[in-house]
Structure 1
Amino acid sequence: MLLFACASGLSVANVYYAQPLLDALAADFGISLAAVGAVITATQVGSVLALVLLVPLGDMLSRRGLMLGQLAALVLALCWVCVAGSAAAMMAGMLAVGMLGTAMTQGLIAYAASAASEQERGRVVGAAQSGVVGGLLMARVFAGLVADLAGWRGVYAASAAIMLALGVLLWRALPKSRAPAAADAATTTGAGAGAAAAGAAVSYTALLASSFALLRHNRVLQVRGAIALLMFAVFGTFWSALVFLLSAPPYAYSHTAIGAFGLVGLAGALAAARAGHWADQGRAQPASAAALALMTAAWLPLAMAQHSLPALIIGILALDLGVQALHVTNQTLILRTAKTDHSRLIGAYMMFYALGSGAGAIAATHVHAMAGWNGACLLGGALSLAALAFWASTTKVASPDCKSGRTNLEWPDQINVLQQQRDKNP
């Protein structure tokens, strides 16, 4: 678990190195400040492609071989970004980094979830997610520090060396594994989903189709995915706008100082681990309510951040605690809806995450260019309220009992029986 957590953290960090470097990238490639958010969007587009095309392979191929292959490709992509000579080449490299970094991260989480027992899956996912949170936030610290010492290109060169060393460690430490059973690879949840006979070969096309079947038929995935989309649009809005606030007067901080603000959010790692434990105990809905309320309230101190550093720190703590607790709760509930398909479930859920993060980043840079920090705070607050309202509207539609692993929308056969009973006894 420790190895998985560290590997996931180092992998996901590559997707977020660019956030505290947006001003440097804009200056180097002649991109306007209003449009430079597209750099973050490019990595998130890569993340979506990974979730659709690469992450489902964990239900079909040997996870050990798959992770090592993806890691080697990630090293090459990082080297490409490091030597990019034009904005187009840099964007293409960012897309590849987002794709491969996401594939490795989510593949490792799915691996951990499938290895855990049903009773402790929330705790295991929470522990792995703690590593992801640490990597996500430390990415900003690392990127800021290295950029001040060796420029933004040095960030990606250093990461390539780190990932190469991680690859050696994983190659030596991970046990050899077989590809998942064909029956597991073909299993899908939801109405109309068929399963191939055990031992039958499953085509890549069928594997991808089954991922979309999950999106069509798994109601818990739909509800929690929509919450995740709004939640990470909030997160992307804040972190993308923050660099412009802190790099300008009255702060005028260096890249190192801006990146160090990621350390404030490390409290989110604690929230991630604890939220999984609460979900295992059947308290997923109260945990969701508290996380969403905290995320919304965070924008009150953040709105005062232009004139108050303590208010900014308080806002970061509240926002990150809320987002990470809700993220783990979402994943735990979704993974409870099936005993297999974990790679595809994670991949489908994280598509909402990637779309939300990318949309939040590009919206934040445009809004900040037009209305400054206050405009970005209004955007973040409105998205937070929308997430809270959406959750409140779905509590009666999907009421998960995570302790038993069942939901009133999990199995179509159960729904049909209940509907028949209702028709007989209106």
Structure 2
Amino acid sequence: MDAVTNAAQYHKLTPLVLWVMTLATGLVVANIYYNQPLLSDIASTFHISNGKAGQIAMFTQMGYATGLLLIIPLADMFKRKQLMLVDFAFIVAALLLAASAQKVWVLVLSSFMVGMSSVIPQILVAMAAHLALPAERGKKIGFIMSGLLIGILLSRAISGFVGEHLGWRAMFYIAAGIMLLMWGLIAWIVPEVEPDYKGSYSSLMKSLIGIIKQEPKLRLAAFRGALCFACFSAFWTTLVFLLREPPFNEGSAVAGAFGLIGAFGALAASMIGRLTDKAAPNRLITYTLIILLASFIIFMMFGHSFTGLIIGVILMDMGVQATHISNQAIIFSLNPNARNRINTVYMVSYFIGGSAGTFLASKVWETYHWAGVCVIGITLSSIVLIVHLLSLQKKDS
């Protein structure tokens, strides 16, 4: 790419484009998390246990991992805006199916489809890395990731409120309308990005194996991301069950409101993005993983009080999201022509970890309740911190 092409490319990422991309990122990713504060209400509607209802969130995350694997690599092969506009149609259809589901299996299937189609944020993050000046890449990624992370957290507050006052089905109808609006904004404002890959889809998918083998930094980042998100998902899936019990005795609105608290931690994402342009991301990750571990120790010791939960949520979200931003700064500095495939490997691992965390927490809750969830978080965050520190020692030796 020559200097003229470079200049034109970077000029496309105007403040308006960046804001629209950030807004779309937050609103689309929210689709994956709307169901979490509503799980108790869903359980009541279909007369199933809380543990069974928790598996609906797991299937949503499994769908997201599937979409990351099968759809995101296409962004290296097809025009990216066109790909997103087609995908929006599938998101709307899946949300409407979830809203109207009369059988549990239909809700499970539609939840999987919602997750599978809601992968547009990852296309947008890779687009930002592609369009940004190299010296500002971490800053721009951090800005968009702030939108993504706030979308994840505020989605719970919004769905909890809507579920409390309008019922859980209303949330999915509202989300479908929001997606139609975002389709228009993306079509109107976001620039097109031409594909870099010229081969077939089968060779594109096979190239993922080569990328995994060739990039040890990607493998380590994927491992860190998977275990961190497993901790994150274990907490948020079971929080609504904890708050239903004494001494809290609260409903979905309060469970969702904890997303507003977690947003304070998510706001650290933009700052971390700036730091990764100047400091070594691996060093920053050491501290962010320690913060994650500390949060679950607080949940274990003080998790039956609002004060303990609030402090723990802020620390947990800060640790998970800051680690995620640092991981992405590392992987997006790798092969520029394969950014979407690199992001596919990382994010598929990330959401497989999230699905595993949701599954473990749902199973453990039935027998060990909150203590079991805290043990999952402490164990997984300890493992990822130890592996990370060992990798730093190996690098320095």
Aligned to 1:47: 64
What is the TM-score with the length of structure 2 in the denominator?
Answer: 0.93
**Matches of 1:214 and 1:14 in 2, distance apart?**
30
Q: SS of 1:396's equivalent?
A: helix
Aligned to 1:94: 111
Gaps of 5+ in 2: 1-17
Contact 1:269 1:324 in 2 (8 A): yes
Aligned to 1:83: 100
Report the AA paired with residue 163 of structure 1. M
Structure 1 residue 262, shift from structure 2 partner: 0.4
Q: SS of 1:35's equivalent?
A: helix
Aligned to 2:323: 326
RMSD, matched Cα: 1.5
**Alignment partner for residue 194 of structure 2, among 161, 168, 179?**
179
**Matches of 1:346 and 1:281 in 2, distance apart?**
22
Structure 1 residue 239, shift from structure 2 partner: 0.7
**C-alpha distance after superposition, 1:212-231 (max 9, x if no partner):** 32122211110110111111
Within-5 A mapping of 1:73-152 = 73-101=90-118, 103-152=119-168
Aligned to 1:245: 242
Structure 1 residue 143, shift from structure 2 partner: 0.6
Structure 1 residue 144, shift from structure 2 partner: 0.5
1:385 aligns with 2:382: yes
**Alignment partner for residue 2 of structure 1, among 13, 19, 23?**
19
Q: SS of 1:298's equivalent?
A: helix
Q: 1:120 to 1:151 in 2, by over 3 A?
A: same
Within-5 A mapping of 1:203-242 = 203-242=200-239
Contact 2:67 2:116 in 1 (8 A): yes
Report the AA paired with residue 277 of structure 1. R
Aligned to 1:289: 286
**Matches of 1:339 and 1:165 in 2, distance apart?**
31
Structure 1 residue 398, shift from structure 2 partner: 4.8
The worse-fitting range, judged by mean Cα deviation, of 230-239 and 271-280 is: 271-280
**C-alpha distance after superposition, 1:35-92 (max 9, x if no partner):** 3221111111111111111001111111111111111110111001011111111111
What is the TM-score with the length of structure 1 in the denominator?
Answer: 0.86
Structure 1 residue 205, shift from structure 2 partner: 1.2
Q: SS of 2:248's equivalent?
A: coil
Within-5 A mapping of 1:58-73 = 58-73=75-90
The worse-fitting range, judged by mean Cα deviation, of 125-134 and 30-39 is: 30-39
Report the AA paired with residue 156 of structure 1. F
**C-alpha distance after superposition, 1:92-146 (max 9, x if no partner):** 1001100111x21111111111111222211111111000001000110111011
Sequence identity percentage: 34
Q: SS of 1:341's equivalent?
A: helix
Contact 1:220 1:398 in 2 (8 A): no
Q: SS of 2:126's equivalent?
A: helix
Aligned to 1:414: none
Contact 1:225 1:353 in 2 (8 A): yes
Structure 1 residue 296, shift from structure 2 partner: 0.4
Aligned to 2:50: 33
Contact 1:133 1:268 in 2 (8 A): no
Q: SS of 1:391's equivalent?
A: helix
Contact 2:20 2:185 in 1 (8 A): no
Structure 1 residue 386, shift from structure 2 partner: 0.8
Structure 1 residue 307, shift from structure 2 partner: 3.4
Contact 2:26 2:151 in 1 (8 A): yes
Aligned to 1:267: 264
Aligned to 1:193: none
**Matches of 1:392 and 1:306 in 2, distance apart?**
28
1:368 aligns with 2:383: no
**C-alpha distance after superposition, 1:220-276 (max 9, x if no partner):** 110110111111111011111211111222111121111011011112332211112
**Matches of 1:259 and 1:305 in 2, distance apart?**
20
Aligned to 2:311: 314
**Alignment partner for residue 185 of structure 2, among 145, 169, 174?**
169
List 4+ stretches of structure 1 deviating above 6 A.
none
**Matches of 1:307 and 1:130 in 2, distance apart?**
29
Structure 1 residue 178, shift from structure 2 partner: 5.2
**Matches of 2:228 and 2:303 in 1, distance apart?**
23
Indicate the structure (1 or 2) with the bigger Cα radius of gyration.
Answer: 1
Contact 1:134 1:266 in 2 (8 A): yes
Structure 1 residue 16, shift from structure 2 partner: 0.6
1:299 aligns with 2:334: no
Structure 1 residue 306, shift from structure 2 partner: 4.4
How many residues align? The count is 380
